[in-house]
Chains A and B, each alone.
Chain A
Amino acid sequence: GAVVSQHPSRVICKSGTSVKIECRSLDFQATTMFWYRQFPKQSLMLMATSNEGSKATYEQGVEKDKFLINHASLTLSTLTVTSAHPEDSSFYICSANSLSTEAFFGQGTRLTVV
């Protein structure tokens, strides 16, 4: 199947700093990617839809100024958590689709804000 690579897999940052997470489709082009957040023992919650060449679409309740999404190429979307706080600590995971409907997930990023 198609491969989606996410980096970094783990990151620890200080409260108030920003963290950038990258999501790459390695063997296909993705005009749309999706970002999810998963708190411990909870489900994956869709945060936003990343659209290549245009603004991201955010789900209700997700602050677009805090979670900056950039999708500048057909193979790369980035999520920047700005002014991170301990409550932003979570597992962030991206997905993308090739021509099929199946979603391919990145490895996920464990963010810890201290």
Chain B
Amino acid sequence: GENVEQHPSTLSVQEGDSAVIKCTYSDSASNYFPWYKQELGKRPQLIIDIRSNVGEKKDQRIAVTLNKTAKHFSLHITETQPEDSAVYFCAASLNNQGGKLIFGQGTELSVKP
């Protein structure tokens, strides 16, 4: 089955700097890659997603890139703010599985003022 690896496990940046989180997946059939932000004790919140027919997607300060050949995808956050501090998870899914998500291990992002 699918396996998703995520790095780094913790990331500390200064406010205003960029943050990059990387994930690799094992199943070449996976075609949907969402990123979630989770605050302590809360449900994951979708922040951006990308499908396998697209190489890059951007939404304001957040962007995701996908390299299907290498089977890896990355989250880029620019101009980080203290409120970006949270745990971020990548995930992979097969569309025809209707939403079954395999998550990466998570990255605890700390943005220092």
Residues in A lying within 8 Å of B, measured CB to CB: 31-32, 34, 42-46, 49, 91, 93, 95-97, 101-103, 105-108, 110
Chain A residues closer than 8 Å to B102, beta-carbon distance: 46
Nearest-Cβ distance from residue A101 to partner chain B, whole angstroms: 5
Inter-chain contact total with CB atoms closer than 8 Å: 55
Contact A103 B99 (CB under 8 A): yes
Nearest-Cβ distance from residue B42 to partner chain A, whole angstroms: 7
| Cα(A34)–Cα(B91), bound, Å | 14
Contact A44 B103 (CB under 8 A): yes
User: Can you name 11 extra interface pairs (CB under 8 A) apart from A42-B106, A101-B93, A103-B101?
Assistant: A43-B89, A43-B106, A46-B101, A46-B103, A93-B43, A93-B44, A95-B101, A101-B32, A101-B51, A101-B95, A105-B44
Q: Given that A101-B32, A108-B43 are contacting pairs, would A44 and B89 also be in contact in the complex, using a CB cutoff of 8 Å?
A: yes
Chain B residues closer than 8 Å to A43, beta-carbon distance: 89, 103-106
Among B46, B49, B51, B98, the one with the most A-chain Cβ atoms within 10 Å of its Cβ is B98
Interface string of B64-91 (1 = CB under 8 A from A): 0000000000000000000000000100
